[in-house]
């Protein structure tokens, strides 16, 4: 079964929505043959600093090696569990289109669909969340797992580098979008739609030459 690629700006609510989707799917898979998995930067202990280009001078070979390593770890984790009977919710920035393409190809290789769940929110809202987390860290307050802040430059840079999904491309479709203000009812509608498309009776059959 499918690979659900969650994507969005830093601190836009990806983990919040990915967990809501996971809870939703957990109920739906009970009367199906599917197994459910949740993979995230946090479950793989990938630090926010791997995305920080300023942490390493751009000209050194190690500049993006850490991000490459992170992607290799994510790829390995997805590959280990993804089959036509496994649903994988992948909660990570997934902001590079070439990377989403690679994940899409991996799903296709195991003859299972992939889709994108884009988390939308305003820049101000997302930034506020990060600023609050930075503040909490500065005060020495405890950070919950998954609530590590991004350094300010890293955050800005990730927003700048973000490659918006394009539903006209194979690898960014089908595309589902949840925005910050979507209430429970609206969110459920989107999740129902997602389920129908990738797991329901209308599910597309994946052929290797497609
Ligand atoms: P990300 O995984 O993208 O870094 P998080 O899911 O950790 O973002 O969310 C950041 C914060 O914003 C969390 O504290 C969460 O409670 C809050 N949040 C996320 N989405 C929403 C939303 N739709 N409405 C209100 N608060 C939200
Ligand atoms: Mg997160």
| pLDDT tens sequence across 12-53 | 999 999 999 999 999 998 877 889 999 999 999 999 999 998
Say what the pLDDT of residue 65 is. Answer: 61
pLDDT band at 200 (very low <50, low <70, confident <90, very high): confident
CB crowding 106-118: b at 16 or more within 10 Å, else e: bbbebebbbbbbb
Distance CA 157, CA 52 (A): 8
Question: Within 6 Å (CB) of ligand 1, which residues are found?
Answer: 8, 10-16, 129, 146, 180
Ligand 1 midpoint to CA 192 (Å): 21
* Ligand 1 atom nearest residue 91's Cα: 2
Residue pair 8/119 in contact by the 8 Å Cβ criterion: yes
Average pLDDT over residues 142-168: 93
Query: Which ligand neighbours the alpha carbon of 159 most closely?
Result: 1
Question: In a mutational test of the pocket of ligand 1, which residue from 123, 129, 185 has the highest number of ligand atoms less than 8 Å from its CB?
Answer: 129
Ligand 1 midpoint to CA 8 (Å): 11
Q: pTM of the prediction?
A: 0.92
Q: Give the DSSP H/E element, type plus range, for residue 23.
A: helix 14-29
Range with top average pLDDT, 56-60, 82-86, 140-144: 82-86
Ligand 2 midpoint to CA 91 (Å): 7
Residue ranges of domains in the chain? 3-198
* Ligand 1 atom nearest residue 16's Cα: 6
Average pLDDT over residues 107-115: 95
Distance CA 78, CA 44 (A): 11
State what percent of residues in the chain have pLDDT above 70.
90
* Ligand 1 atom nearest residue 12's Cα: 3
* CA-nearest residue, atom 4 of ligand 1: 11
Ligand 1 midpoint to CA 194 (Å): 21
Say what the pLDDT of residue 205 is. Answer: 57
* Ligand 1 atom nearest residue 11's Cα: 4
| The CATH number, out of the four listed (2.60.120.10, 3.40.190.170, 3.40.50.300, 3.90.1150.10), of the domain defined by the range 3-198 | 3.40.50.300
* CA-nearest residue, atom 1 of ligand 1: 11
């Amino acid at each position: 079964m499918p690979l659900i690629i969650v994507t969005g700006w830093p601190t836009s609510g990806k983990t919040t929505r990915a967990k809501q989707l996971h809870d939703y799917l957990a109920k739906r898979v009970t009367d199906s043959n599917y197994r459910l998995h949740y993979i995230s930067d946090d479950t793989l202990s990938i630090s926010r600093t791997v995305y920080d280009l300023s942490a390493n001078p751009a000209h050194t070979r190690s500049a993006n090696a850490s991000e490459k390593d992170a992607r290799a770890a994510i790829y390995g984790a997805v590959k280990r569990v993804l089959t036509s009977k496994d649903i994988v919710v992948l909660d990570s920035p997934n902001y590079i289109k070439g990377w989403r393409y690679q994940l899409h190809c991996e799903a296709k290789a195991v003859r299972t669909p992939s889709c994108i769940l884009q988390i939308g929110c305003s820049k101000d809202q997302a930034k506020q969340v990060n600023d609050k987390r930075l503040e909490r860290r500065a005060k020495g307050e405890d950070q919950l797992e998954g609530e590590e802040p991004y350094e300010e430059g890293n955050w800005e840079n990730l927003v700048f580098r973000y490659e918006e999904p394009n539903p006209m491309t194979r690898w960014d479709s089908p595309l589902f979008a949840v925005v910050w203000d979507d209430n429970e009812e609206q969110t459920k509608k989107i999740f129902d739609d997602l389920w129908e498309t990738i797991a329901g009776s209308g599910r597309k059959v994946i052929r290797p030459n497609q």
